[in-house]
Amino acid sequence: MKSGIATIIVFFTINTVVLFAQTTSNRILNFQPKFGNEDLQLIEAVYTTKNNDSIWIDVFKCYVSNIALLQNGKVVWQEKNSFHLINSAEQESLRLMLQTPVALTFDAIQFNVGIDSVTNVSGAMGGDLDPTNGMYWTWQSGYINIKLEGRSNKCLTRNNAFTFHLGGYQFPYNALQKVMISIQQNEKINIVTDIQKFISSIDLTTQNQIMTPGKSAMFLSNQFSTIFSELKQ
Amino acid sequence: MKKVTIFFLLLIFVLTAFVSVSQLFVVPKGWPKPNYDFSKNPLSKEKIELGRALFYDPILSRDNSISCASCHNPYNAFANANHQLSLGIEDKTGSRNAPVLVNLAWEKKFMWDGAINHLDMQSLFPITHPDEMGEQLDHVISKLKGSTIYPRLFYKAYQDSIVTGEHLLKAIAQFMLTLVSSNSKYDSVMRHQAVFSNQEKNGYQLFKKNCNSCHTEPLFTNHEFENNGLPINKILKDFGRMKVTGLAIDSLKFKVPTLRNIQYSSPYMHDGRFTRLQDVLKHYTLGIQKSSTLSQKIQQSIVLTSNERVDIIAFLLTLSDNSFILNPSFNFAKHNLYQ
């Protein structure tokens, strides 16, 4: 009698595991930092902007959160506890595993660039949200949504440096950006992040250092949200 | 009969378990619900001990010279004795007076201007500010990882010896949450266990009429930011909360501090400009400078005779809590180093 029950339990457990394995999978979401058509290489590579200025990128990091997949404008899958720190200097951070159903069809992906205001006021958290990751303002609480640092002859600053630490969660300077892009490839999602699009939208001579929340941070965050697109095969 | 006995034994067991957990933090009778969300950082004895060890350890500063307690001394209700402005590493001077650390579980925002939005995040400020501990966060983490004490204390607290920012901050917050002061003479009087002297009683009546709208009982703060009419210091040029919000309506507003243990926490105000309570009372009666953001609550002048001011001070001294100041579990714990 007892062994009978055990067999049934084992049978069902195996069944559930098999079913689970069949219906969900690790769908890869891959971010590919680029500068125009070239793969982004930090610090050493020199790029040319549309105005023929030289530019180097030293740091490129941002938060991607609340990832969802959509079909015909309706959310068909949503990632739970969805907070990812994307860092161009760390290859593994650019490759996310989404636990989605295998048979899922979708035509768009949606996510936030940055950290929402509720999470911003919820105290210390771990993993990608650990405030010691260098993406948190310590003198005035708040996550830094985007860090982009580099050099350009356009910047008449020390070492020709430009520094953008963009964020802010409090009204009226909430810099969080919602991004939605259409997707054709369903098996593996490849997203390009083209820094050139951001750089060409601003004048580095006049705007080369933003490190506090405010109007400029909001404007630049909005410009930044346009750099994402699906990789054209 | 047997079942009843077992039931009661179980009940007693459950109740004692509950009491031993809740004793780590008790909301004093009649006090409001704390603002801190304990469910996200459940207190434990080991985590509090870790936070306490960190609080007293200069390892958090760049040159290992100062700790949190350097400016937040337990014998001054965790304020900075005799220094108007806080002192950092290499004799650097900050721009504000180190406040008391009392009943922080009820606070909503931290620092004089509310720049910090959560108690967990508070310690990031002094650790990283160049005029305070001047340290880099990744360097603090690596120093703690390499220490002979901390991996063990982190393991005891979190069953994981890996030092993370989250655990570091939450442990310090846990220690600070335990700093509850609710056993002053004032509290005894409210619990009908003691009586005010006539002078204290008169002071209390005057206090309720003139001071209570900002320094609201039982925490003696309304947790708001107010402009209390202090003339701006021409060197510090500190406009308070305006720096955080960028709004002109917040010019010259600072957080209303608690008055509990005020006897121990001199000097007073955000820049420590007053040394004596009589100077503070003199400011509120004679020194208020009008400006567009002056608190609504002091638009009408406060009129007090010199005797009445003395009576208010007599009442303020009833907010001193010796059991808080001398609580051995708030002091530096040598045993953390040797266990």
**pLDDT tens across A161-181, in order?**
999 999 999 989 999 999 999
- Please check the confidence at residue A195 and state whether its pLDDT lies above 70: yes
- Are the beta carbons of A123 and B173 separated by less than 8 Å? yes
Q: Is the dihedral of CA B258, B264, B268, B269 positive or negative?
A: negative
d(CA A25, CA A186): 12
Topology alike, domains B38-181+325-338 and B185-320: yes
Q: Which of residues 10-39 of B touch A (CB under 8 A)?
A: 37
Is any Cβ of chain A less than 8 angstroms from the Cβ of B155? no
Burial per residue of A16-29, b for 16 or more beta-carbon CB atoms within 10 angstroms, e otherwise: eeeeeeeeebebeb
pLDDT confidence band for A186 (50 / 70 / 90) = confident
pLDDT digits (tens, 9 = 90+) for B154-176: 999 999 999 999 999 999 999 99
Q: How far is B309 from chain A (nearest CA, A)?
A: 38
Q: Answer yes or no: do B137 and A132 touch at CB < 8 A.
A: yes
In the CATH scheme, what is the code of domain B38-181+325-338?
A: 1.10.760.10
What pLDDT does A93 receive?
Answer: 98
Quick check: A131 and B165 CB within 8 A?
A: yes
- Gap from B114 CA to chain A (nearest CA, Å): 8
Q: Name the one residue in this structure whose structure tokens are 């404008």.
A: A73
Residue of A nearest to B141 (CA): A132
Instruction: Give the span between the Cα atoms of B32 and B103, in whole angstroms.
Output: 12
B133-137, Cβ contacts within 8 angstroms, sequence gap of 24 or more: B133/B60, B133/B61, B133/B62, B133/B66, B133/B88, B133/B89, B134/B61, B134/B62, B134/B63, B134/B88, B134/B89, B134/B90, B134/B92, B135/B60, B135/B61, B135/B62, B136/B62, B137/A131, B137/A132, B137/A134, B137/A138, B137/B165
Higher pLDDT, A212 or A25: A212
Q: Provide mean pLDDT across the span B217-243.
A: 96
Average pLDDT over residues B249-258: 98
Nearest to B186 by CA among B338, B30, B37: B30
Could you tell me if B119 lies within 8 Å of chain A, comparing CB atoms? yes
The predicted pLDDT at position B4 comes to 63
pLDDT digits (tens, 9 = 90+) for A77-121: 999 999 999 999 999 999 999 999 988 999 999 999 999 999 999
Checking if the pLDDT of A2 tops 60, the result is: no
Optimal mutation site among A138, A169, A210, A215, interface B, most CBs of chain B within 10 A: A138
Higher pLDDT, B39 or A232: B39
pLDDT at residue B207 tops 70: yes
pLDDT at B15 over 80: no
Rounded to the nearest angstrom, the minimum Cα separation between B281 and chain A is: 32
3-state secondary structure of A83: strand
Question: Can you give the residue ranges of every domain in chain B?
Answer: 38-181+325-338, 185-320
Query: How many other CB atoms sit within 10 Å of the CB of residue A117?
Result: 17
Q: Which of A120, A125, A214 sits opposite B166 (nearest CB)?
A: A125
Model confidence at A22, in pLDDT bands (50, 70, 90)? low
- Of all residues in chain A, the percent with pLDDT exceeding 70 is 91
Chain A residues touching B119 at Cβ < 8 A:
123
Q: Is the pLDDT of residue A17 over 90?
A: no
pLDDT of residue A15: 52
User: How far away is chain B from the Cα of A116, in angstroms, using its nearest Cα?
Assistant: 14
Contacts of B245 in chain A (CB under 8 A): 170
What is the rounded distance in angstroms from the CA atom of residue A158 to the CA atom of residue B281? 50
pLDDT tens string B283-314: 999 999 999 999 999 999 999 999 999 999 99
pLDDT at B81: 83
By CA distance, what is B131's nearest residue in A?
A139
Q: What share of chain B has pLDDT > 70, as a percent?
A: 92
Residue B23 confidence (pLDDT): 84
Which chain B residues are within 8 Å of A117, Cβ to Cβ?
none
Give the residue from chain A lying closest to B132, CA to CA: A139
Asked if B137 has any chain A CB less than 8 Å from its own CB, the reply is yes
pLDDT of residue B19: 47
The answer to whether residues B92 and B105 touch, using CB atoms and an 8 Å cutoff, is no
**What does the block give as tokens for B96?**
């504000």
Q: In chain A, which residue's Cα lies nearest the Cα of B138?
A: A132
Q: Give residue-wise pLDDT tens across range B77-132.
A: 999 988 999 999 999 999 999 999 999 999 999 999 999 999 999 999 999 999 99
Residue A51 — pLDDT band, cuts 50, 70, 90? confident
The model's confidence at residue B7, banded by pLDDT at 50, 70 and 90, is: low
Pick the CATH number of B185-320 from 1.20.1090.10, 3.30.830.10, 3.40.190.10, 1.10.760.10: 1.10.760.10
Task: Please state, in angstroms and rounded to a whole number, the distance separating the CA atoms of residues B60 and B63.
Answer: 9
Cis previous bond, B267, omega within 30: yes
Q: Do A131 and B169 touch (CB under 8 A)?
A: yes
Residue A167 with chain B: CB contacts under 8 Å:
none
Query: Cβ separation of A131 and B166 shorter than 8 Å?
Result: yes
B208: helix, strand or coil: helix
